[in-house]
Amino acid sequence: ERGMPIIHFVWMASVVALGQLLTLYAWGRLVETYESRAVLTFSLLGCAVLGLFWLILPTGVTALTLAAAGFSLAWGTLEGGLSIGLTQAMMISVPEQNQGEGFSLIAYASAMGGAAGGLLGGVTFDWVSRWPDGHLIEPEIVYLVLASAAIGIVYLLLRKKEGYAQQASLTELLGKLMLR
């Protein structure tokens, strides 16, 4: 509705993939060296904070396309960290003799959570988009910001993972990287 052609939206999927491709190796090195806690913390909180982007969404084809490209590149970068961090966390959390069954259960839980979240999100978005006009901020924008912020809940659950406290924190990781 702000002026970006639908084909530009389609292109953004490639920009997300580019963010992943450019950073997967670096995320892998960080996880191999420092384990998954700091990478998952950065990725999850980064995704939650990135939701604030919706509050400054520009209008017009050029500005909107450039902003969407920057958002998509950042999102892909964070998704790469999340993917690598979760894989390593699952490898450590599930005993080797149970990894087939354990990863199947994780996939089922992820699918059920995705289905429930998609349904709840869709119903909520439909409800919010029917609010009457006249708000300072568009209701859909409020929804997108809050949906992104909800990723922070996953971060809070991450803190309950066994061995979490023994791994390098994000601040420790950043300190080590700055001293290199």
Q: What pLDDT score was predicted for residue 18? A: 97
Quote the pLDDT of residue 46. 95
Alpha-carbon span 178 to 180, nearest angstrom: 6
Measured between alpha carbons, how far is 81 from 69 in angstroms, rounded to an integer? 19
Is 90 exceeded by the pLDDT of residue 73?
A: yes
pLDDT of residue 44: 94
Cα(39)–Cα(62) distance, rounded to whole angstroms? 33
pLDDT value at 3 more than 80: no
What are the C-alpha distances in Å from 47 to residues 3, 10, 71, 89, 100?
25, 20, 10, 19, 29
pLDDT of residue 96: 87
Closest CA to 27 of 69, 86, 67, 73: 86
In whole angstroms, what is the distance from residue 141 CA to residue 146 CA? Answer: 9
pLDDT mean over 58-72:
91
Q: How many residues does the chain have?
A: 180
Q: Which of 145, 173, 147 is nearest to 41 (CA)?
A: 173
Q: What pLDDT is attached to residue 42?
A: 95
Confidence (pLDDT) at 115:
93
Is pLDDT of 90 > 90?
Answer: no
- Of 52-61, 112-121, 131-140, the least confident: 131-140
- pLDDT tens digits, one per residue of 118-143: 898 889 888 888 888 777 788 888 88
State the amino acid at position 149 in one-letter form. Answer: A
Is the model's pTM score more than 0.95?
no
Going by pLDDT thresholds of 50, 70 and 90, the confidence category of residue 27 is very high
The overall average pLDDT reported for the chain is 89
- pLDDT on residue 81: 96
- pLDDT of 147 over the 90 cut: no
- Torsional sign, CA 149, 119, 18, 105: positive
